[in-house]
Amino acid sequence: MAKLSPIAVLLASAWLCAGTPAFAQATDPLSAFLRNLTTGSIPEPAAPSQPAEAGQHPLMTPQALASASADFGNCLERLWPEAAKRGVSRATYEKYALTLTPDMKIMEFLDTQPEFTKALWEYLDLLVTDVRIARGREILTQYSATFDQVEKAYGVDRYIITAIWGIESNFSTSGGERPVVRSTATLACIGRRQAYFRDEFLSTLEILHRGDVRPEQLKGSWAGAFGPTQFMPTSFKRFAVDFDGDGRRDVVDSVPDLIASTANNLKKDGWVAGQTWGYEVVVPANFNYLLADHSRLLKLREWTQQGVRRVNGQPFPRPEDSAYLLVPAGARGPAFVMLGNFRAIMKYNPSEAYALAIGHLADRMRGGGGFVQPWPREERVLSRAERYELQQLLSARGFDAGQPDGKLGGKTRVAIRQFQASVGDPPDGFASGGVLTRLRSR
């Protein structure tokens, strides 16, 4: 199940483009509306004087948010029968749900993910630091006996678990302070992801009813992830375990429970014991970058036959493992072959940038070095308007980039590769300023 990481909130201000106002000072109409809504000064919705912003979801317009906010109490009452079916008592529901007010500030975070505001190498610079590496090694030593037991039980690499702990909450120091029940209730009734968050909200009520996590502990990110390794409520239901044997699945304050629950999550998402997450590689000159596609799996020995080599020159230790080739910054940046365990990390959080940060931090704590090949740091991240324009131009030229939304998903990358191949450029799928310029000129 897709999981929303709180890292978008924890580092959002650092990842916004230089000179961009912070959320609290934003002057766009939606932000101004949300500030008024948060403080109780709610203007009567007026008919829009101009069309909604290109790509804006109809449930995210000021008018839609005002209507949903006004109906918040009724929405929660409508969800009561579903909670009752899950065994939640009416007393629990009235205590934790019917007293809530919406947290409208969350709407400002909903579409602000770090991969859309900062270059991958800057993302990695912020997350994989000497301080975090050192603290991770201390954690590994401090809880070595627990890690021994968990590795024996689940077969999941302790360094990966520790990396998740470090990146998700900076080792329990910054997991978020929003009440999970309020955040999930808000998102269940307001905004563009209501269907998804209704399950999260109802699962939160189940947690409170069972008593696994005390109400005062159940605080987390704007999206409802909680605990040092940031479980969404539905993920908690599926993966949390009582490893310390006290009768409660406490992924907040019990270190054995949080380590084992994270391992159980990864194992059930397909983690292969004894396999790493991936390798940095060098590709040969004149390489066919159309092979660099997450849907194209080859055995490592087959990648070797294509001329792909590890950067340290050593052979792949498990040549029969299957992997795909990832060139996240295009032909001028590092290349990687990603194994099945990389996909398991992406099930924890569906972002290649996140999974790469987890794998790299784990390797650094293990004693490995930094990436060998340089990043194209002179490249700038396209603005959302430019990404939207890129998608429009690709589709107009006959390369289907999907519905323009300003987000560079898999379909857009395929379209970029097809365009690059048509003009004789390496089809690496990297959305650079150069690609946009070429599209504009054709």
Does residue 289 have a pLDDT over 50?
Answer: yes
Residue 111 has a pLDDT of 63
Mean pLDDT of 225-229: 96
442 or 81, greater pLDDT: 81
Closest by Cα among 264, 271, 177, 273 to 225: 177
CB contact set of 20 (below 8 Å; sequence gap of 6+): none
Residue 36 has a pLDDT of 40
Given a contact cutoff of 8 angstroms between Cβ atoms, the answer to whether 123 and 353 are in contact is yes
CB contact set of 356 (below 8 Å; sequence gap of 6+): 120, 124, 328, 336
Does residue 34 have a pLDDT over 70?
Answer: no
**CB neighbourhood size of 400 (10 A):** 12
C-alpha span between 260 and 243 (Å, rounded): 6
Confidence band for 410, pLDDT divided at 50, 70 and 90: confident
CA atoms within 13 A on the CB side of 348: 34
Given a contact cutoff of 8 angstroms between Cβ atoms, the answer to whether 211 and 95 are in contact is no
Q: What is the pLDDT of residues 329-359, one digit of tens each?
A: 999 999 999 999 999 999 999 889 999 999 9
Q: Is residue 414 part of a domain?
A: yes
Q: What is the pLDDT of residues 37-61, one digit of tens each?
A: 333 333 333 333 334 454 568 999 9
Does residue 441 have a pLDDT over 70?
Answer: yes
Confidence band for 112, pLDDT divided at 50, 70 and 90: low
Residue 12 has a pLDDT of 32
What is the number of residues in the chain?
442
CB contact set of 38 (below 8 Å; sequence gap of 6+): 104, 105
Q: Is residue 418 part of a domain?
A: yes
C-alpha span between 375 and 18 (Å, rounded): 20
Provide the percentage of residues in the chain whose pLDDT is more than 70. Answer: 86
Q: Is residue 437 part of a domain?
A: yes
Given a contact cutoff of 8 angstroms between Cβ atoms, the answer to whether 391 and 412 are in contact is yes
Instruction: State the Cα angle at 318 between 313 and 324, rounded to 5°.
Output: 80
Does residue 291 have a pLDDT over 50?
Answer: yes
Using CA atoms, how far residue 257 sits from 261, 347, 354, in Å, is 6, 20, 23
Confidence band for 117, pLDDT divided at 50, 70 and 90: low
C-alpha span between 248 and 261 (Å, rounded): 12
Residue 144 has a pLDDT of 98
Q: Is residue 406 part of a domain?
A: yes
284 or 175, greater pLDDT: 284
Residue 157 has a pLDDT of 98
Mean pLDDT of 257-272: 98
Q: Is residue 210 part of a domain?
A: no
Q: Is residue 392 part of a domain?
A: yes
Does residue 398 have a pLDDT over 50?
Answer: yes
The residue range of the domain holding 427 is 384-441
Given a contact cutoff of 8 angstroms between Cβ atoms, the answer to whether 159 and 366 are in contact is yes
Residue 409 has a pLDDT of 82
166 or 176, greater pLDDT: 166
- Please state the domain count of the chain: 1
Does residue 145 have a pLDDT over 90?
Answer: yes
| Minimum mean pLDDT range among 46-60, 192-206, 391-405 | 46-60
Q: Is residue 433 part of a domain?
A: yes
Q: What is the pLDDT of residues 295-318, one digit of tens each?
A: 999 999 999 999 999 999 999 999
Provide the percentage of residues in the chain whose pLDDT is more than 90. Answer: 79
Does residue 21 have a pLDDT over 90?
Answer: no
Determine phi and psi for 328, rounding to 5 degrees.
-65, -20
Does residue 193 have a pLDDT over 90?
Answer: yes
Q: Is residue 420 part of a domain?
A: yes
**Mean pLDDT of all residues in the chain?**
87
Q: What is the pLDDT of residues 69-106, one digit of tens each?
A: 999 999 999 999 999 999 999 999 999 999 999 999 99
Do the bridges between strand 309-310 and strand 278-282 make them parallel or antiparallel, or are there none, so unpaired?
antiparallel
Does residue 17 have a pLDDT over 80?
Answer: no
